[in-house]
């Protein structure tokens, strides 16, 4: 039986997943990449697909983000989402789909689509798979 922290049991699964994603967005926008990564399941089972690349595990996903957004000459930008939807699949699983947007300080704008699978774990809701393009 999964033991769920009391805070999580007071909110609907949709509200809990929304909070997970809002917390991640806030961490990203303050430049806190490790805080952003708290939304991901810290396990070797985590998968991140982007373009033709696959990162397996929490450490590989963090390394990918660091290389892409914190490497020399890189920046994280300001993250936002549109067309966001959360579909609760059951009491312990949900899918988030959206269009992501990154506004960079140089005026450049990046955007793409994302599908994120979330699972209720002993640590609350976590992302177990992220497919972003």
At 1, is the pLDDT very low, low, confident or very high (cuts 50, 70, 90)?
very low
* pLDDT value at 120 more than 50: yes
Decide if pLDDT at 2 tops 60: no
- Write 40-45 long-range contacts (CB < 8 A, 24+): 40/126, 40/127, 40/128, 40/130, 41/119, 41/121, 41/126, 41/127, 41/128, 42/126, 45/128
Number of domains in the chain: 1
- Does residue 42 lie in a domain region? yes
Mean pLDDT along residues 100-125: 95
What is the per-residue pLDDT across 29-76, written as a single tens digit (0 to 9) for each?
Answer: 999 999 999 999 999 999 999 999 999 999 999 999 999 999 888 999
Question: Does residue 76 lie within any of the structural domains?
Answer: yes
Give the domain CATH number at 21: 3.10.450.50
**What is the Cβ-side half-sphere exposure of residue 132, based on CA atoms within 13 angstroms?**
20
For the cut 50, the answer to whether the pLDDT of residue 90 exceeds it is yes
Domain housing 68: 6-132
Residue 105 falls within a domain, yes or no?
yes
Tell me what pLDDT residue 6 has: 47
Mean of pLDDT values over 73-82:
94
In angstroms, what CA-CA distances link 36 with 9, 10, 62? 23, 23, 10
pLDDT digits (tens, 9 = 90+) for 4-15: 554 456 889 999
In this structure, is residue 59 part of a structural domain?
yes
Residue 92 structure tokens: 């312990």
Could you tell me if residue 1 is inside a domain? no
* 124 pLDDT tier (thresholds 50, 70, 90): very high
Q: How far apart are CA 36 and CA 27, in angstroms?
A: 5
Say what the pLDDT of residue 72 is: 85
């Amino acid at each position: 039986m999964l033991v769920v922290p009391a805070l999580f049991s007071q909110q609907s699964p949709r509200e809990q997943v929304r909070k997970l994603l809002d917390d991640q967005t806030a961490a990203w926008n303050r430049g806190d990449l490790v805080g952003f990564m708290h939304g991901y399941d810290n396990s070797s089972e985590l998968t991140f697909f982007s373009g033709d690349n696959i990162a397996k595990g929490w450490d590989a996903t963090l390394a990918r983000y660091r290389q892409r957004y914190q490497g020399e000459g890189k920046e994280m930008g300001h993250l936002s989402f549109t067309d966001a939807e959360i579909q609760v699949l059951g009491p312990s699983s949900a899918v988030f789909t959206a269009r992501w947007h990154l506004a960079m300080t140089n005026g450049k704008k990046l955007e793409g689509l994302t599908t994120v699978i979330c699972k209720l774990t002993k640590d609350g809701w976590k992302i177990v798979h992220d497919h972003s393009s």
